[in-house]
Chain A
């Protein structure tokens, strides 16, 4: 198999299946990633704040979730989501692919929330304790102190790490193809099945993933530099 044939084959595949890769595959991958990232960021922030709570059992539960998520493979978590979410939520009305999508999204959200909560937590902890003390000593309650003084400063530590988490999430979503949710890796499985040209399909999918994550990390680099210039 020569390089020339591979390139020719890639051109042919893209001519015929561009829609499957670039629209469906990229679309589902980005959709899943964005849902996971947004929900994961919200849930993760709540978990981070909960971890500072005075109520010890809440702290223990959150710590346990974080440790379990970090200590088990993501693929295993997806399997668990795939088998347990339908038992907890009524999603029978959806198509098989949408059911898989929902299950994977929920599993990935919990996974991402665990990592985000650590990012947020350490971002908050990196803010000098004197800032909290100054605000509390003026008679402000902990909520106002958190929202008006601490979080605005913590966000500068949090955003760059959150950007990295976005890239990780994009790559993790590929695991969801195990359940044929329609993402880029699912597109790969589909087209490979139709063409039997697995090398070419892998190169195509790899290149798309790379372009996605590389563009993102460049955009984030620019954003980070802008933010530093303002600080």
Chain B
């Protein structure tokens, strides 16, 4: 479902992620743990490109979200001038690729310095697999530590905002296309058919509103539909933030420390809602400091440390017999 492939992330000179790979399978619940500043949020945010990875690729359901990373495609490297030069100097093909990868020899990944053939190879991969990031994000819900409800919209409007805006944009796009088709038909014998637009502005709004109310009812907050976020408690805000993401029917949900900004008495209600989602089979990636929760709901736990995933195992194993000494140290501090 979600593939993180050899991600590097630098903030200036600070190397936060140094080659991280993992695959999130459909229906899987994966927790990410690690010390403060270890890069957990950065890894999660790279998954939906709120941070752009410095190197590496992110794939979702066979579609490429990031630019092409040539180092992950030996056939692309083999098209580069650098490779051709090394081979001409007598190096074997395999050695040349290893050397180029290891020493980061491709100069300026998209420049003309590596030649036409190289750029064509890059473009081919991109064209075959690329997906618009906005479309991809509609399938990935994200929940933030600070809730980030829209302050200028009521609770109901918060939940309806994305479905309505995106629905309306689709109608506008279809109408524009139809206009072009109509114009084209004026000059052609064979008339092209118009795109059928079944939805109207009103139907989209009504549908989004029904869905919003249904979701609010689910968490028992329908009476808060018309209030503004500033009047809500932290626990209420976070639960609404979760259903706001659900309103887009996402295929995977990303959580970045969803309970860290909450008063202790409100943590339970948010974790309960997340457990419900997990039980319903939602694919979830959760950055958390709640070890008990991670242990209970996760299929896998990733321990992120010093820019790497140091351990990646089911929770019973990982918590019972941590292998990495830094994980042992970390667990002894937080448990």
Contacts and interface: CB of A to CB of B under 8 A. Distances in A.
A125 interface: no
A90 interface: no
Given A130-B146, A133-B50, A133-B144, A138 B162 contact: yes
Interface string B131-145: 000111111111010
Nearest to A154: B152
A153 interface: yes
B107 interface: no
Contacts of A136: 50, 137
A131 interface: yes
A57 B150 CA distance: 33
A40 B309 CA distance: 53
B41 to A, nearest CB: 11
State the majority secondary structure of interface residues on A.
helix
Contacts of A148: 161, 165
Contact of B50 (A131, A137, A141, A153): A137
A67 interface: no
B137 A134 contact: no
B151 A153 contact: yes
Interface residues on B, range: 20 to 34
Nearest to B146: A130
Given A137-B48, A137-B50, A131 B151 contact: yes
Interface residues of A, number: 17
A141 B50 CA distance: 13
Contacts of B161: 135, 138, 140, 148-149
A139 B244 CA distance: 12
A137 B151 contact: no
A148 B162 CA distance: 11
A128 interface: yes
Contact of A137 (B142, B147, B150, B152): B142
Nearest to B244: A138
Given A139-B248, A140-B165, A140-B166, A134 B134 contact: no
A149 B152 CA distance: 7
Nearest to A144: B165
A144 B161 CA distance: 10
